[in-house]
A and B are shown apart, each in its own frame.
Chain A
Amino acid sequence: MMNLASSIRIALRALRVNKLRSMLTMLGIIIGVAAVITMIAVGAGAQARVEDQIRGLGTNLVILFPGSVTSGGVRMGAGSRSTLTEDDAYAIQREVRGVQAAAPTLRGTGQVVAGNNNWSTAFYGVTPEYFEVRNWAIATGKIFDAADLTGSGKVALLGETVARSLFGDADPVGQVIRIRKVPFTVIGTLERKGQNLLGQDQDDVVLMPLSTARNRVLGGGTARQRTVGSASIKVREGEDMSEVIEEMRSLLRQRHRLQPGTDDDFTLRNLSEVLQAQEQSSRIMTLLLAAIASVSLLVGGIGIMNIMLVSVTERTREIGLRMAVGARGRDILAQFLVEAVTLALIGGALGILLGVGGSYAIGHLAEWRTELNVRAIVLAAGFAAAVGVFFGFYPARKASRLLPIEALRYE
């Protein structure tokens, strides 16, 4: 058997003889490999975006809602009953070991006015834990201090959308706004968070101390009961989510004095589960895209087989001569197989270049996020080689089975 280096040299020489034909044959593989790499990059980009959203939301986020009311057989839905108090949230943070922070939240909506501008938005009464739980940093200014929290200080933090709507490019810090006619001093702005998975603008929001929201803006009956609309709870990294949720549930049942066998009067929702489902679906999309792209790789392989068959026919006399001077069937097999694989691998290498370039181009021009994946590149190259072997085998075997005398006499 010839050594591999000479086989490759012979293969390259044979491919050089028909440069245009070799290029065109390779084109199938080039396009296939480039498509696989680009599609996986696009898919991985989408996946990474979802992952970022999970990270932005807080990886281990649980939302606690009050329970539903059943009134005359009509169930009113989650949050229809004010069973949840801010003390529930504090208790969870204090007593459930796996919880990093719990942030009770009151939500309201209203018109916000600043000078001549006004804007309808949602406002949240929150505690400083909220920023930790939601992984939300402030862009300018500062968050409220202890005095604001206990004394219902009339201070507010603006989300990016609100800040822009009310103040344009001007710095809102230090300015006065009115929320439901109550004057507030803007003490800071929040970092941009973008859309959430449902497409809602997370920056269209005003944050204020929890006590302020309850006592000065929402007012009324809820004041005495210390109830809150919901609580966001961040579970420590590495904790078993379901275990922690179970602990929270039993703590809440105990605090709400629920008898065994009765329904919970609250809902604990594991938000990251929703996102993980989304991540799963984007992973499936990646696979689908890659599968579709692989079809073109397959078509490229058929192109290789076609051209190798032509090549074997054209070089029948050469095969005959090689056999006459001592080449065995497997030498001829190896020669044509190496040629097919070389063709596929060169195509694969060019395809990788094109795929990497294409991924960058898509990332830049379409402003889609793309993530190049080394594993995908290796996979595509390996696949290209496999295509070469698979589609090169039949023509190579055909060549190796020629009879020396018939091959020599072939016209």
Chain B
Amino acid sequence: MAGPLILTRDLTKVYQMESYTVQALRGVSLEIQRGEFVAVMGPSGSGKSTFMNLLGCLDSPTSGEYFLAGERLSGLSGDALAEIRNSSIGFVFQNFNLLPRTTAVENVELPLLYSRCPKQERRQRALARLAQVGLADRAGHHPQQLSGGQQQRVAIARALVNNPVLILADEPTGALDTRTSFELMGVLQQLNREGMTVVLVTHEHDVATFASRIISFRDGHVLSDQGVAQPADAQAMLRELEREAA
């Protein structure tokens, strides 16, 4: 397919508070190609989270245009956006957002529940994705029985289960220690190597270095947009960390 995966034109978002307005985004125009691994950085209040929510169709822009895989998404109805989220976008959240008292495999199945996938296929696909993130043997565990890293991998399996075109990761390592962060970034890098487009929001520069492109936000504008010549290799760093420990 020709054209960028993501194209935004003059995207703005204004939050109307009771007595004042907040201009969270002041006209952002960007292109992200298929297969890119983009880190979105910026201090809090820079607009990076707002930008992320717009990319993820969780929120609608005040003005401007947003095209995902050539389809204009700005101005679509809530139901249509839900369907886009379901079929095209996989979310990974900082706090995992797994359903408690629900097994790992059922958590992974959740998006399929809303795409009317038959029960057997649902289970099959969920188990396959769990195996892909190395948790085949934890399918029947509840989130509270899993470590933070394992929970986040369940969340990645959930993000992948509907074969999305884009993974959006919002501070995915925020609740993880260094070792587990490397592990998780390794999983995301592996997915990216296999062709998945990944957009990562983080405020940690270390985490951003795993990406191949870093976009910095400040005060609702894009401050800088640079390619990374030599992204860090999470798996190599993890091996090194383990050697040091040994």
Contact = CB atoms under 8 A, between A and B. Distances in A.
Interface of A: 1-3, 6, 13, 17, 317-318, 320-331, 403-405, 408
Given A317-B97, A325-B110, A325-B114, A13 B87 contact: no
Nearest to B52: A405
Contacts of B110: 321-322, 325
Contacts of A330: 79
Interface stretch (B53-61, B207-215, B238-246): B53-61
A277 B56 CA distance: 72
Contact of A326 (B53, B101, B115): B115
Nearest to A407: B58
Contacts of B82: 323, 326-329, 404
A6 B113 contact: yes
B143 interface: no
A321 B97 contact: yes
Contacts of B83: 326, 328
Nearest to A401: B78
A329 B114 contact: no
Given A6-B113, A323-B82, A403 B59 contact: yes
Nearest to A327: B114
A115 B79 CA distance: 97
Interface string B99-119: 101100000001101111000
Contact of A405 (B58, B97, B116): B58
Contact of B114 (A320, A326, A408): A326
Interface centre among B87, B97, B115 (most CB of A within 10 A): B97
B91 interface: yes
A325 B58 CA distance: 10
Which 4 pairs between the two chains have the least Cβ-Cβ distance?
A326-B86, A326-B114, A325-B111, A405-B58
19 contacts: A2-B113, A2-B114, A2-B116, A13-B102, A321-B97, A322-B114, A323-B85, A325-B114, A325-B158, A326-B83, A326-B114, A326-B162, A327-B82, A327-B86, A327-B114, A329-B78, A329-B79, A329-B82, A330-B79
Interface string B48-74: 000001001011000000000000000
A318 B143 CA distance: 14
Contacts of B56: 324
Nearest to A329: B78
A326 B85 contact: yes
Contacts of A317: 97
Contacts of B93: 321, 408
Interface centre among A1, A321, A325, A404 (most CB of B within 10 A): A325
A326 B87 contact: yes
Given A325-B158, A408-B93, 10 more contacts: A1-B116, A2-B116, A6-B113, A323-B85, A325-B85, A327-B114, A328-B78, A329-B79, A404-B58, A405-B59
Given A405-B58, A405-B59, A326 B111 contact: yes
Contacts of A1: 116
A318 B53 contact: no
A408 B59 CA distance: 11
A238 to B, nearest CB: 59
A93 B91 CA distance: 93
A315 to B, nearest CB: 10
A210 B106 CA distance: 89
A287 B116 CA distance: 46
Contacts of A324: 56, 58, 85, 91, 97
Given A322-B110, A329-B79, A408 B58 contact: yes
B246 to A, nearest CB: 39
B101 A325 contact: no
Interface centre among B85, B93, B102 (most CB of A within 10 A): B85
Contacts of B115: 326
Given A325-B114, A329-B79, A318 B99 contact: yes
Contacts of A327: 82, 86, 114
Nearest to B115: A326
B87 to A, nearest CB: 7
A326 B112 CA distance: 9
B79 A328 contact: yes
A6 B115 CA distance: 13
B101 A408 contact: no
A404 to B, nearest CB: 5
Nearest to A17: B101
Nearest to B83: A326
A322 B86 CA distance: 10
Contacts of A318: 99
Nearest to A400: B78
B58 A331 contact: no
Contacts of B85: 323-326, 404
Interface in B106-134: 110-111, 113-116
Interface string B200-236: 0000000000000000000000000000000000000
B90 to A, nearest CB: 9
B114 A331 contact: yes
A322 B162 CA distance: 14
B110 to A, nearest CB: 5
Nearest to A13: B101
Contacts of A321: 93, 97, 99, 110
